[in-house]
């Protein structure tokens, strides 16, 4: 009896890692309050035509790139911001403690050329923010973009891996490729679906979870034998 009690205490001591993650925003019901920027530009919602075809909803936004005048490469086209209630803030928190290791999304655009997409992950106040490498996305086809989250991933911007201890913003942006201009690209439709955040438990937590599972099996076996 004493052994069983100790095992139950051990199982209860396992930290609740992964309560939020993995996280997936598939925009089934609406645009989940994701935006193009931090103001009122909520993304549109399309009921079908996502990566899975008919009946697969997604979020969408028309961006007039000719209006982009910042010297910093290109605009943010999708923004999930916990402070604005995007996805109910389900993605916000300490990604390092949760073991987050990758962020993926399905994106599509109808520009006349392939566009480089990047990810930016920032604190609730939007700074510091860690930006990732760019991934080239061809026009007219749903494409998965994937960004690894780890201490060895090279980040640019005002943040580094430590930024992921307090995430409040997820942003996907594009750059204007060489050989063209924002004005020449004009109005571009950007589509977004299946924003996914995956996580693996830290080694110590994984070991405790495995041990807790063994505890459950042992107790079940004891009951059957008894």
Q: Could you give the CA distance from residue 195 to residue 144 in angstroms, rounded to a whole number?
A: 10
> 3-state SS of 55-121?
CCCEEEEEEEHHHCCCCCCCCEEEEEEHHHCHHHHCCCECHHHHCEEEEEEEEEECCCCCEEEEEEE
Phi and psi at residue 78, in whole multiples of 5°?
Answer: -135, 135
How do the pLDDT tens digits run along the chain, 226 residues long?
444 444 344 344 444 443 468 999 999 999 999 999 777 689 999 999 999 999 999 999 999 999 888 776 789 999 999 999 999 999 999 999 999 999 999 999 999 999 999 999 999 999 999 999 899 999 999 999 999 999 999 888 778 999 999 999 999 999 999 899 999 999 999 999 999 999 986 544 444 444 444 444 444 444 444 5
What is the predicted pLDDT for the residue at 33?
Answer: 96
What is the predicted pLDDT for the residue at 213?
Answer: 47
- Domains annotated for the chain, with CATH where assigned, are 20-200 (2.60.120.260)
């Amino acid at each position: 009896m004493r052994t069983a009690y100790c095992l139950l205490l051990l199982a209860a001591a396992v930290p609740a890692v992964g309560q939020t993650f993995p996280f997936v925003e598939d925009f089934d019901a609406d645009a989940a309050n994701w935006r193009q920027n931090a103001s009122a530009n909520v993304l549109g919602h399309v009921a079908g035509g996502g990566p899975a075809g008919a009946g697969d909803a997604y979020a969408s936004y028309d961006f007039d790139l000719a209006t982009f005048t910042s010297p910093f490469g290109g605009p943010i086209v999708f923004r999930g911001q916990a402070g604005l209630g995007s996805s109910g803030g389900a993605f916000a928190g300490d990604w390092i403690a949760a073991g987050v290791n990758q962020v993926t999304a399905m994106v599509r655009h109808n520009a006349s050329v392939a566009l480089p997409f990047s990810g930016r992950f920032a604190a609730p106040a939007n700074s510091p923010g860690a930006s990732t490498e760019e991934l080239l996305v061809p026009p007219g086809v749903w494409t998965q973009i994937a960004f690894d989250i780890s201490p060895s991933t090279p980040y640019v911007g005002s943040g580094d891996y430590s930024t992921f201890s307090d995430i409040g913003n997820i942003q996907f942006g594009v750059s204007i490729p060489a050989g063209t201009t924002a004005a020449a690209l004009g109005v571009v439709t950007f589509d977004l679906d299946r924003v996914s955040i995956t996580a693996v438990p830290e080694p110590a937590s994984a070991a405790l979870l495995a041990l807790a599972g063994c505890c459950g099996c042992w107790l079940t076996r004891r009951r059957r034998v008894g």
